[in-house]
Structure 1
Amino acid sequence: MTFIRLHAKQGCKYTKRTLLSVWTNRLYSSARKTLAEHTLCSSVYILSMKPTQEIKQEPADMSGKFGLGNYSSRKHISISVPSSTEVMSPHIKSVEELRVLGINLNRFNTPTQFFICVAGVFLFYLIYGYLQELIFSLEGFKPFGWYLTLVQFGLYSLFGLVELQLTQDKRRRIPCKTYMIIAFLTVGTMGLSNTSLGYLNYPTQVIFKCCKLIPVMIGGVFIQGKRYNVADVSAALCMSLGLIWFTLADSKIAPNFNVTGVILISLALCADAAIGNVQEKAMKIHNGTNSEMVLYSYSIGFVYILLGLLSFGGLGPAVSFCSQHPVTTYGYAFLFSLTGYFGISFVLALIKLFGALVAVTVTTGRKAMTIVLSFLFFSKPFTFQYVWGGLLVVFGIFLNVYSKNRDKMKLPSLAELRKRVLSGRKVRLLSQDV
């Protein structure tokens, strides 16, 4: 809203109403431009109109400027137009204050934001993957994947509640019905994924999870009506083929496949492919915060898992086993959940800033690195088939990055390459003649 304070000197020939009419007409056009720049629709109000003291410094000739022959009054006019953030509601303001672990990402430019998010995803999720494999390497723990997910969801809810209390805006913006859907998909993703480790080795499980790039693109088309170009499709195909190559190599060297594990990880893959698009759509429409998303989705998911364990009788044996090994179960589970919570905060920031496809590409690259570290820290046979599959994954990541930065990374066409080669030959021939 624009505010005008107009002060007129006493003794002026023209009445205050006349002066007001003149200044209103003169300020109308400039006010319209200012309001258009700030995308505001506001009115002009006269707050005060009172005599003012004589100004020592002689102002410019106002009579000639405004066509008032006997105008000798001095007046002081101040116009204050608030910035766009001042007039925004808190619902809109939070977009300009995207914080992850206390870091305000909006202070940085787009490449720096991308680097911070990618670094956070890689750092915390690499530790997360190591701890996950370490927990399931404990003898006798493999049947209790759902209980680990229950503990993980409970700790995530606690972390989200603490983070939400530290923020100024504690309102829930996304409807509960949407959170119930997101929680169901999250339970399917993480619960089925953790349970599949009881039937599959860790690299195979990670490889299956990496193949969700194509389902994410399909979900983006059907859920959000997106359209992907040839480079994005090629990136998804290359990454998926490379990871399938990993799977085939692993099946030849250390065959440990189980039909139950394949079904579980496939269902987790479908849920994981849908959750990114649902989260992106919900956060864009309702402008929900990361801490809100984590708190409500995981707390509702905690209730889902608890009811399931109570219904099928899986809670008692799991509690009994973990009570016998508290450090290697609850201790590792706490660190596992803490690093996972930090990692999911950066993933949600990636989704909000760059979209689901970029987030999946980054997390897929992280999974490939997790496989490498798994071979380094845990004894497994190795073959060069893993290397060729990894190169395909890297090429797929390059295609995706090129698709997102096509203007900055413009590759020469075949005609341009041919022209450069021919011009280079001509230069060499001329140099030889000279």
Structure 2
Amino acid sequence: MGSSSGSKSSNGDVKLLCFEIGYFNTTTQFIICSIGVFIFFILYGYFQELIFTLQDFKPYGWYLTFVQFIFYSIFGLIETQIRNDRHRKIPLKTYALLALLTVGTMGFSNASLGHLNYPTQVIFKCCKLIPVLVGSVLIQGKKYAPLDYFAAMMMCVGLIWFILADSKLSPIFDMIGLFQISSALFCDAAIGNVQEKAMKAHHASNAEIVLYSYFIGVFYILLYLLGSGDFLPAFNVCLEHKLETYGYGFIFSLTGYIGIQIVLQLVRTG
């Protein structure tokens, strides 16, 4: 990447998914990635909420996460094969931690929708920037000026105000749901910083990080579902409503996967 935002990238192999964007200058790369994040995570949130309009499925947010992780693993495997990126660079113990954090942030987030309505969940997600900033200080030793913290806080307040002003539904505060979404935010505070640190230390590709993090996470979630006894009931509900669960789940996972890849590219070039 060039040091100037108006210059061409010095790295000839800057890819977004399988598309080369290195010939754009850094400002254009940032704009492309930023627009992509908005588009794909809006679609991600829409299909996530749509799946949980199925009342029978509300208690089974962890099963949705299980399905999501399987799709992400398949997408990651396909991408690594296309890019001929078959040699793991990051140690497995780091991926074991990343997988655990990923399971936490996505599993608790999905599960919280069984107890909170969507506006409430989004309000809490709007506060994600603050724990991520704190996590970057503790994990990576970064330093920020007081103005940076103030700007982050004002951004969170502005987003919450915008959501509340635009929403036709009042927030619903359920203690179990609040615990789950707070746990998701706690994992969020760590995961991005651990990813960034590992990417910079080992120069691993986005596809590798997604593949190993989510593939290992599949087994974590499977153990939880079998231990809690939720696997068979959730599986039976999904069989009765294939389109609303597996069908929408595929689109939900695909948009989320693309969104994550774009975020990782922003982290890599930031």
Taking structure 1 as the reference length, what is the TM-score of the superposition? 0.58
- Distance verdict in 2 for CA 1:312–1:226, change over 3 Å: same
Answer yes or no: is the 8 Å Cα contact 2:12–2:23 preserved in 1. Answer: no
- Distance verdict in 2 for CA 1:174–1:138, change over 3 Å: same
Answer yes or no: is the 8 Å Cα contact 1:185–1:271 preserved in 2. Answer: yes
Deviations 1:25-84 (A, max 9, x none): xxxxxxxxxxxxxxxxxxxxxxxxxxxxxxxxxxxxxxxxxxxxxxxxxxxxxxxxxxxx
Aligned match of 1:301: 217
Higher helix share: 2
CA distance in 2, matches of 1:250, 1:103: 36
Q: 1:268 aligns with which of 184, 187, 208?
A: 184
**5 Å matches for 1:160-179?**
160-179=76-95
CA distance in 2, matches of 1:328, 1:297: 26
Answer yes or no: is the 8 Å Cα contact 2:85–2:208 preserved in 1. Answer: no
Note if 1:287 corresponds to 2:194: no
CA distance in 2, matches of 1:262, 1:184: 20
CA distance in 2, matches of 1:283, 1:228: 22
Answer yes or no: is the 8 Å Cα contact 2:119–2:164 preserved in 1. Answer: no
Note if 1:334 corresponds to 2:224: no
**Root mean square deviation of aligned Cα:** 1.9
CA distance in 2, matches of 1:248, 1:108: 38
Answer yes or no: is the 8 Å Cα contact 1:120–1:346 preserved in 2. Answer: yes
Moved more, 249-258 or 208-217: 249-258
Aligned match of 1:222: 138
Deviations 1:102-131 (A, max 9, x none): 222221111011011112111211111111
**5 Å matches for 1:301-380?**
301-354=217-270
Answer yes or no: is the 8 Å Cα contact 1:188–1:271 preserved in 2. Answer: yes
CA distance in 1, matches of 2:150, 2:249: 38
In structure 2, the residue corresponding to 1:211 is in which secondary structure?
helix
Moved more, 228-237 or 203-212: 228-237
- Distance verdict in 2 for CA 1:351–1:335, change over 3 Å: same
Q: Partner letter of residue 177 of structure 2? A: G
In structure 2, the residue corresponding to 1:97 is in which secondary structure?
coil
CA distance in 1, matches of 2:265, 2:39: 15
In structure 2, the residue corresponding to 1:168 is in which secondary structure?
coil
CA distance in 1, matches of 2:32, 2:165: 34
CA distance in 2, matches of 1:248, 1:116: 28
**5 Å matches for 1:153-164?**
153-164=69-80
Q: Partner letter of residue 97 of structure 1? A: D
Q: Partner letter of residue 195 of structure 2? A: Q
CA distance in 2, matches of 1:306, 1:229: 43
Offset, 1:247? 7.7
Note if 1:145 corresponds to 2:61: yes
Aligned match of 1:184: 100
Taking structure 2 as the reference length, what is the TM-score of the superposition? 0.91
In structure 2, the residue corresponding to 1:241 is in which secondary structure?
helix
Note if 1:108 corresponds to 2:18: no
Answer yes or no: is the 8 Å Cα contact 1:207–1:246 preserved in 2. Answer: no
Deviations 1:232-289 (A, max 9, x none): 2121110223345468779996252101101100010010111111100000000010
CA distance in 1, matches of 2:269, 2:123: 26
Answer yes or no: is the 8 Å Cα contact 1:143–1:195 preserved in 2. Answer: yes
Q: Partner letter of residue 40 of structure 2? A: F
Q: Partner letter of residue 225 of structure 1? A: G
Q: 1:194 aligns with which of 98, 110, 125?
A: 110
Q: Relative CO higher for 1 or 2, CA cutoff 8 Å, sep ≥ 6?
A: 2
**5 Å matches for 1:93-104?**
96-104=12-20
- Distance verdict in 2 for CA 1:321–1:124, change over 3 Å: same
Offset, 1:206? 1.2
CA distance in 2, matches of 1:341, 1:193: 16
Q: Partner letter of residue 55 of structure 2? A: E
CA distance in 1, matches of 2:19, 2:78: 16
Answer yes or no: is the 8 Å Cα contact 2:47–2:252 preserved in 1. Answer: yes
- Distance verdict in 2 for CA 1:287–1:255, change over 3 Å: closer
Q: Partner letter of residue 256 of structure 1? A: I
Answer yes or no: is the 8 Å Cα contact 2:105–2:188 preserved in 1. Answer: yes
Aligned match of 1:15: none
Answer yes or no: is the 8 Å Cα contact 2:119–2:170 preserved in 1. Answer: no
> Which blocks of at least 5 consecutive residues in structure 1 are unaligned?
1-94, 355-434
The percentage of aligned residue pairs carrying the same residue is 60
In structure 1, the residue corresponding to 2:55 is in which secondary structure?
coil
Aligned match of 2:6: none
Q: Partner letter of residue 269 of structure 1? A: L
Answer yes or no: is the 8 Å Cα contact 1:204–1:250 preserved in 2. Answer: no
Answer yes or no: is the 8 Å Cα contact 1:125–1:340 preserved in 2. Answer: yes
Offset, 1:198? 0.6
